[in-house]
Amino acid sequence: MKFVIALFSPSHSPASRRALRFAEAVLAGGHEIVRLFLYQDGVHSASANTVSAQDELDIAAQWSQFVDRHQLDGVVCIAAGLRRGVLDEQEAKRHQRPAANLGSGWELSGLGQLHEASQHADRLVCFGGH
């Protein structure tokens, strides 16, 4: 079965941890993840500058490691990312910001990427949001 996973909550929320565990279970079950899409506050999981307290799980880092390890298509909504300060090199230069902070394995792109991926998947599973 092919899945698209969309995350709407920040990395410190329980929804982010549940989404990561679900994604791990999808692959462990022999299924495919067509795309991981971070939207709204979920884009914070793609920031390379997120720091967790020593007694907490670093879910943002675990997401980046997961995407890299499995060579997944990790997409961050560009509008939501810009609004929350999650920038790649190109957007940092374009908006005259001092640095980029998009984590390894992620790319900025439009909301259309979520729609396009859902057309090629059997299931769209969303975590978090209002």
* Residues labelled as active-site residues: 77
CA distances from 114 to 12, 120, 123 (A): 23, 10, 12
Instruction: Answer for the pair 24, 33: CB distance below 8 angstroms, yes or no.
Output: no
d(CA 100, CA 97): 8
